[in-house]
Amino acid sequence: MSNHQLRTPVVFIIFKRPNTTEKVFETIRQAKPPKILVIADGPRTELPGEAEKCEATRAIIQRVDWNCEILTNYSEVNLGCNKRVSSGLYWVFEQVKYDPNLKLRIKRKIKRLKNISTRLPKSLESKKIIGTQLESSSSLSGYDISSSP
């Protein structure tokens, strides 16, 4: 194990998987960042036990045992992956100073991913992925979803 301490903040996006979160947290612990910004979506009310899993996952963050500022952006309601991640990343940029050009490029990428994600279900229904005909509906590998129609 290295004695090197990370000097940059870490953004940690969690949801309802305490086992996975525990493993990732152990890696973060080894890096000992000075700041962790945690983004979490809320549980889906229609799924029994999900609130408890979200709570257990969030509790792992409190195990920080080094000098570290913890900032959390937890949603109490389920926003869905797309909305929660993008709104969380916007929150991160409000908290941490970055090169404005980097911030703008990342915001554009988020907007583009949101745009693609809204078109993808419709494209799958017609067996197309943004203008590319699928030969097999069972596999999406090898298709570039980043190109425009």
Domain harbouring 39, CATH code: 3.40.50
Query: Residue 144 falls within a domain, yes or no?
Result: no
Domain tally, the chain: 2
Q: Are residues 24 and 86 in the same domain?
A: yes
Query: Residue 127 falls within a domain, yes or no?
Result: yes
Q: How many helices (H) and strands (E) does the chain have?
A: 4, 5
Query: Residue 142 falls within a domain, yes or no?
Result: no
Q: In this structure, what token pair is assigned to residue 8?
A: 């940059």
104-137 confidence digits (pLDDT tens): 777 777 777 777 767 666 655 555 544 443 443 3
Residue 112 is predicted with a pLDDT of 78
Q: Are residues 90 and 106 in the same domain?
A: no
Query: Residue 139 falls within a domain, yes or no?
Result: no
Contact 54, 40 (CB under 8 A): yes
Q: Are residues 92 and 123 in the same domain?
A: no
Identify the domain containing residue 62 by its residue range.
1-97
Residue 14 is predicted with a pLDDT of 95
| Boundary residue ending a domain (97, 113, 142) | 97
Q: Are residues 102 and 92 in the same domain?
A: no
- In this structure, the number of other CB atoms found within 10 A of the CB of residue 97 comes to 7
Q: Are residues 122 and 83 in the same domain?
A: no
CA angle 58, 7, 93 (to 5 degrees): 60
Q: Are residues 73 and 105 in the same domain?
A: no
Name the one residue in this structure whose structure tokens are 């890696």.
27
Name the one residue in this structure whose structure tokens are 């992925």.
129
11-47 confidence digits (pLDDT tens): 999 999 999 999 999 999 999 999 999 999 999 999 9
Round to whole Å and give the CA distance between 15 and 75.
10
Q: Are residues 93 and 105 in the same domain?
A: no
Q: In this structure, what token pair is assigned to residue 12?
A: 């940690």
Query: Residue 141 falls within a domain, yes or no?
Result: no
